Chain A
Amino acid sequence: MGASAMSVGRGGRLAFAALRRVVAAVGSVLGATLLLQALVGLAPGDAADLAANDPALRDALSAAWGLDEPLLTRWSRFVLGALGGDLGESLTVRPGASVWSLITAAAGRSSGLVAAALALGLGLALPLGFGGARARRLTLVFSAAPVFLALYAVMTGLNEGAWALIEAGKMERPGWFALPDADSGLRWALGACALAWGSSSLAELQAATADELTRLRRAPFVLAAQARGEPAWPVALRSLLPPLSEVAASQVAVTLGGLIVVERALQLNGAGSLFWQACRLRDLPLACGLAAAAALVVAGARLTSDLTRLWLDPRLREAP
């Protein structure tokens, strides 16, 4: 009886703590959409002026976007529309196309790249975390290059090297030559590597992993297990999961930002290149929709990490 009550109490605390985090995640997405709507509302003159020169079209856009309405009314309309799968129509990128369908199609194409980059980053960070101070310094220095610079260096090296070999008659023209114009799987692989590596992404993951490993090596339960001659690493690796999931979640926003660069530089078709086009052509409904979708993904990743930590670390359930 007592054990059952205790179990219910633990389950209840877990559910309450999880609910609090879900509410926080939903709040952060709502806050992000409010920020985006406020940004559109701050456009000099009128946001519709940016998109159209024809006065009649401008008036129609102002009415459709609710630019004369207060911010909160406009924002609530955006949120309700998003919940119903209606984010309006694209103006300039694909005139008349549904923003919702454009975003879902592009997100499907980009999700693999983001997932591969995060998996590759974590996969590299773990062995590098064991590498000590020298590995940390090397990763810090080489991973500091911005994503576009890493891509520039690799593409230049591959193009020049292949061209030299082709000219010398030592190689047939490969299918991927010349980057980034030729359509090939190499572009996708380069994109995933650059996202995992560049703009200090790998250095942050590696530093966090190394710090956690150092902490775990000195943890009393690891020392006790070692003293008893038992393998400590199964438990240690389980303890490594919560902090790693937190760092990986914090990298999602950086990776999504890098996606814009990678897809534009490598001419890949996905959410990043669509966002770039939307900004370049001032397609504000599409750009705002994509930014809101990015906010949703980031909040979702953070929530997943929080729930993982909550599940694995009982101390967090008791926290006020």
Chain B
Amino acid sequence: MRLTVAWVAVVLALGLAWGDRALEVVTPLASAGPGWETPLGRDHLGRDVLARLVVGAWSFVAPGALACAAALGLGVPVGAAAGWFGGLVATAQRALTASVESVPTLALVCLGAAIFGPTPLVLGALAGLAWAPRVAEAVRARLESLRQAELVLALEAHGVPPWRVLGHHLLWVGCRGLLARQALTLFAAVLTLETTLSYLGDLGVAEPTPSWGNMLSFEWGIDGNPWAAAAPALTLWAACAALAWLNEPEARRG
């Protein structure tokens, strides 16, 4: 796990360092194959495919992090209130969740991009807002089951203040695994959303800024360096599969 985190950190640091390299157009070397300087070759404008792949990771990492912060920041307090107080608060939370979940997330993000402009900030904020009710629902369901646990009754009987029972014992100890899973699912959803919008064009990351989605779209139907399209396609599939794998303990256990 630590090795994976270190590897991701190195890729993201390289992404910051290679910003100019990813945009440098070398027309005479258009669609050149892999070599020492460019291990994945060049695209049909002569830009370094590896540099674009690494820099393109930031196109979903930044909105993904923002979406996770927004979803957890909004969803956890609402879910905690619904799970702790129950009654009307829980009913209102359920109604809110049902309303937001009725609109497909991609449709909500497209509409938001049309209204506010297709920026990473808008993508991250809207994905976070769309996901917050799911986080709230998951937290409420967990708290409702934990609320009646003997441990909680014992803590209350020992005079532990309610804010500590809720904040530490129920949310931190009882829900942190659940929240990590929710964050991972949301991050995978943002990866899919961002690359999809960039692939389809107009509402996603626009050229020349690299994204794995617009790299694929840019190379559609062009002969030359096959890695210019294969590299983002394989990386995207591997990233989606890895996130799904991490989030599925049942499958890992076999």
User: Footprint of B on A, CB under 8 Å?
Assistant: 24, 27-32, 34-36, 39-40, 42-44, 47, 50, 133-134, 136-137, 140-142, 144-149, 152-153, 156, 159, 199-200, 203, 207, 211, 253-254, 256-258, 260-261, 264-265, 275-276, 278-280, 282, 284, 287-288, 290-291, 294-295, 298-299, 302
Contact = CB atoms under 8 A, between A and B. Distances in A.
Contact of A31 (B96, B106, B229): B96
Interface of B: 95-96, 98-108, 110-116, 192, 195-196, 199-200, 202-203, 213, 216, 220-221, 229, 233, 236-237, 240-241, 243-245, 248, 250-251, 254
A27 B95 contact: yes
B233 A298 contact: no
A302 B102 CA distance: 9
Determine which residue in B114, B240, B250 has the highest number of CB atoms from chain A within 10 A of its CB, and name it: B114
Minimum-distance CB pairs A-B, first 10:
A31-B99, A257-B104, A257-B106, A28-B98, A295-B102, A279-B114, A144-B240, A133-B254, A144-B244, A32-B102
Given A42-B115, A144-B237, A276-B110, 5 more contacts: A28-B101, A43-B116, A146-B236, A152-B220, A207-B251
A282 B114 contact: yes
B254 A50 contact: no
Binding site secondary structure of chain B: helix
A316 to B, nearest CB: 16
B114 A137 contact: no
Nearest to A133: B254
A87 B104 CA distance: 20
A39 B107 CA distance: 12
A51 B29 CA distance: 42
Determine which residue in A30, A279, A280 has the highest number of CB atoms from chain B within 10 A of its CB, and name it: A279
Contact of B103 (A133, A211, A294): A294
A32 B199 contact: no
B111 A147 contact: no
Contact of A136 (B96, B101, B250): B250
Nearest to B199: A148
Determine which residue in B216, B229, B233, B248 has the highest number of CB atoms from chain A within 10 A of its CB, and name it: B248
B192 A146 contact: yes
Contacts of A287: 110-111, 114
B203 A35 contact: no
A284 B115 contact: yes
Contacts of B248: 140, 203, 207
A43 B114 CA distance: 10
Contacts, number: 164
A257 B95 contact: no
B196 A261 contact: yes
Contacts of B216: 149, 152
A279 B201 CA distance: 12
A36 B106 contact: no
B48 to A, nearest CB: 22
Contact of A39 (B112, B220, B250): B112
A50 to B, nearest CB: 7
Contact of B95 (A28, A50, A146, A290): A28
B102 A288 contact: no
27 contacts: A28-B101, A29-B99, A32-B99, A34-B99, A42-B116, A43-B115, A137-B251, A140-B251, A144-B241, A144-B245, A146-B195, A152-B220, A253-B103, A257-B104, A257-B105, A260-B110, A265-B200, A276-B200, A279-B113, A280-B114, A282-B115, A284-B114, A287-B110, A288-B111, A290-B107, A291-B107, A294-B103
Contacts of B96: 31
B239 to A, nearest CB: 9
Nearest to A137: B251
A32 B103 contact: yes
B199 A291 contact: no
Contact of A295 (B103, B221, B254): B103
Contacts of A257: 104-107
A145 B111 contact: no
Nearest to B220: A152
